A and B are shown apart, each in its own frame.
Chain A
Amino acid sequence: MTEPSPVDTLAAAEAKIVAKDLDVFYGSFQAIKHASLTMKAQHVTALIGPSGCGKSTFLRALNRMHDLTPGARVEGCVELDGEDIYGPDADPVVIRHRIGMVFQRPNPFPKTIYENVVYGPRIHGERSRARLDEIAEHALRQAALWDEVKDRLQRSALDLSGGQQQRLCIARAVALNPEVILMDEPASALDPIATSKIEDLIGQLTDEYTVVIVTHSMQQAARISDFTAFFHLGEIVEVGPTNQIFTHPKEKRTEDYITGRFG
């Protein structure tokens, strides 16, 4: 029996989170223009582009982080399993439970490793110590950190190395059992060894989660993502299976970026 081609598998995957005609304004400056993107469930979508092209801005619109920026305005809609997260009844607190985020610089809380991981479940109401212990172990395993920290869960998270802290932040996000994990250049502040650990991790995370990752490294995007969207000056220039984008880009701007002519 012939296996379906990779392209067919990708095309058949269902949509998890869909941005439709998204505009993001900072005051009068429009940072994102009519961006539409379908991000498929349990796959990795990479957002690439030169600095300042808006990829981080787009990412933050996916979990309503712009609500926190005074003067920022989002128009258009973002649908999670068909429901608009910017709808009139939608609640950012609930949304951030389902869509987690890992930031560029690791930002563990000045608490113990354990407290960092269970912070999410705790604030959402989980009280049972036994359940929290389970959740912590499961999340740390998923973040490939368990073996390194299982004997020192009560030590401060700030004692960990940069790479470990970032994996802790991933564990923290995963502990909430989200559906989507947004990653904003998660390895850019880390050394190459830590970076490759994170990249391996991302591959494993897609077993359960949908990952959208912003990266300034094309090699990284090529290594780990299934789909790639190329951003330029606030617009999505081209999107498609990663393989196709990097070998046969359809737009000239995409090709220029990939071949290093700018950015």
Chain B
Amino acid sequence: MNARRTRRTERIALMGLRIAAGFVVVAMAALLLYLAFEGTKTFYVDRFPVWSFLFSPDFSPDANHPGAAVFIVGTIVVTVFAIALGGPFGVAVGVFLAELAPRRMTQVLKPAIELMVGIPSVVYGWLGLTLLVPIIRTHTSSPSGFGLAAAGIVLSLMILPTVITLSEDAFRSLPGSLKEGSLALGATRWQTIVRVLLPSASSGIAVALILGIARAVGETLAIQMVIGNSTQFPKGLFAPTAALTTEVVTDMPGATAGSLLEHALFSMAFLLLLIAMVLIVFVRFALRKRA
């Protein structure tokens, strides 16, 4: 009789667990559906063509023409900037942690990186605002200091921990026999890293970079505080401009429900969601290549 009771407990427990796991799926599905529904209103309710939305640099929702190309380009440029700066730096520090760092250095560096992860993006934005922007203003041609350069630098700082930790994992998961074999042939440590370890860890590093890009694309507050938020095409690194995420956060609080502006902003959010999902597919692809 006791056995029957425990078996019932088992079944109820399992059902509860299944429901919890199912909730994750439901949440994701709901997210997709809600955003798809709201985000396509621009196209089938307001009848604004998808083509214009994606490629027109003219963002004038008041004139019924919300072309989002400015923001798409802004997102792309700022992301490229961030990964160009933070990518190699992050992989290098990842290599350092996995192959070169003595224990005491690791004991200081890893908590530092964890701390960097914990710092809220709004604080990064504030740091950029109070520290970086004035520096850019005084040392370059930029009149205000806001712009792609400030946003790119702040963003590269934010993706650093992601790239570092994932690169380090990629190197640590390599079998030690690879390094041994190379060193036994008389290679220096650096030669071993460049010629054997880096190529062998390439899929792991690809994952690190892709996830760094995903983080960059989705970052909002930090760049919004330093990018200038002007709906103009960026005329160089030091002119104020905007990205998809920053535009949503800047204009949504003031947008009237049901207006074209609101619909356009939701379309931008939906676009962001699609980009995120595409990046996931890339990550899975990169991971499969490893196996």
Q: In whole angstroms, how far apart are the Cα atoms of A94 and B187 in the complex?
A: 9
Asked if B46 is at the interface of the complex by the 8 Å CB criterion, the answer is: no
What 0/1 readout, one digit per residue, does chain A (85-117) give for beta carbons within 8 Å of chain B? 000000001111100110101011111000000
Q: In whole angstroms, how far apart are the Cα atoms of A176 and B184 in the complex?
A: 11
Asked if A50 is at the interface of the complex by the 8 Å CB criterion, the answer is: no
- A-chain residues with CB within 8 Å of residue B196 when the two chains form the complex: 109, 119
Q: How many residues of A contact B (CB 8 A)?
A: 26
The answer on a CB contact under 8 Å between B177 and A103 is yes
The answer on a CB contact under 8 Å between B180 and A109 is no
- A-chain residues with CB within 8 Å of residue B186 when the two chains form the complex: 93-97, 120, 123-124, 176
Asked if A65 is at the interface of the complex by the 8 Å CB criterion, the answer is: yes
User: What's the minimum C-beta distance from A206 to chain B, rounded to whole angstroms?
Assistant: 20
- Complex partner residue of A169 from B181, B187, B188, B195, CB under 8 angstroms: B181
The answer on a CB contact under 8 Å between B185 and A120 is yes
What 0/1 readout, one digit per residue, does chain A (9-52) give for beta carbons within 8 Å of chain B? 00000000000000000000000000000000000000000000
The answer on a CB contact under 8 Å between B195 and A93 is no
The answer on a CB contact under 8 Å between A103 and B180 is yes
Q: In whole angstroms, how far apart are the Cα atoms of A126 and B44 in the complex?
A: 65
Q: In whole angstroms, how far apart are the Cα atoms of A100 and B187 in the complex?
A: 12
- Complex partner residue of A119 from B175, B182, B188, CB under 8 angstroms: B182
Q: In whole angstroms, how far apart are the Cα atoms of A108 and B185 in the complex?
A: 12
The secondary structure that dominates the B interface is: helix
- A-chain residues with CB within 8 Å of residue B184 when the two chains form the complex: 63, 65, 96, 100-101, 103, 173
Most chain A beta carbons < 10 A, residue from B175, B180, B183, B196: B183
Most chain B beta carbons < 10 A, residue from A93, A100, A124, A173: A93
What 0/1 readout, one digit per residue, does chain B (156-188) give for beta carbons within 8 Å of chain A? 000000000000000000010110111111111
Asked if B199 is at the interface of the complex by the 8 Å CB criterion, the answer is: yes
Q: How many residues of B contact A (CB 8 A)?
A: 17
With both beta carbons as reference points, the residue of chain B lying nearest to A101 in the complex is identified as B184
- Complex partner residue of B188 from A93, A122, A173, CB under 8 angstroms: A93
Given A103-B177, A105-B177, A123-B191, answer yes or no on A110-B183 (Cβ-Cβ < 8 Å).
no
Given A110-B200, A119-B195, answer yes or no on A68-B185 (Cβ-Cβ < 8 Å).
no
The answer on a CB contact under 8 Å between A68 and B180 is yes
User: What's the minimum C-beta distance from A89 to chain B, rounded to whole angstroms?
Assistant: 17
The answer on a CB contact under 8 Å between A107 and B181 is yes
The answer on a CB contact under 8 Å between B182 and A68 is no
Asked if A167 is at the interface of the complex by the 8 Å CB criterion, the answer is: no
- A-chain residues with CB within 8 Å of residue B199 when the two chains form the complex: 110-111
- B-chain residues with CB within 8 Å of residue A103 when the two chains form the complex: 177, 180-181, 184
Asked if A55 is at the interface of the complex by the 8 Å CB criterion, the answer is: no
What 0/1 readout, one digit per residue, does chain A (167-208) give for beta carbons within 8 Å of chain B? 001001100100000000000000000000000000000000
With both beta carbons as reference points, the residue of chain B lying nearest to A105 in the complex is identified as B177
User: What's the minimum C-beta distance from A94 to chain B, rounded to whole angstroms?
Assistant: 7
- B-chain residues with CB within 8 Å of residue A94 when the two chains form the complex: 186
With both beta carbons as reference points, the residue of chain B lying nearest to A91 in the complex is identified as B186
With both beta carbons as reference points, the residue of chain B lying nearest to A63 in the complex is identified as B184
The answer on a CB contact under 8 Å between B185 and A173 is yes
- B-chain residues with CB within 8 Å of residue A122 when the two chains form the complex: 195
Instruction: Give 20 pairs: A residue, B residue, CB < 8 Å, sorted on A.
Output: A65-B183, A94-B186, A100-B184, A100-B185, A103-B181, A105-B177, A109-B178, A109-B181, A109-B182, A110-B199, A110-B200, A119-B182, A119-B185, A119-B196, A120-B185, A123-B185, A123-B187, A123-B195, A172-B181, A173-B185
Interface residues of B (CB under 8 A from A): 175, 177-178, 180-188, 191, 195-196, 199-200
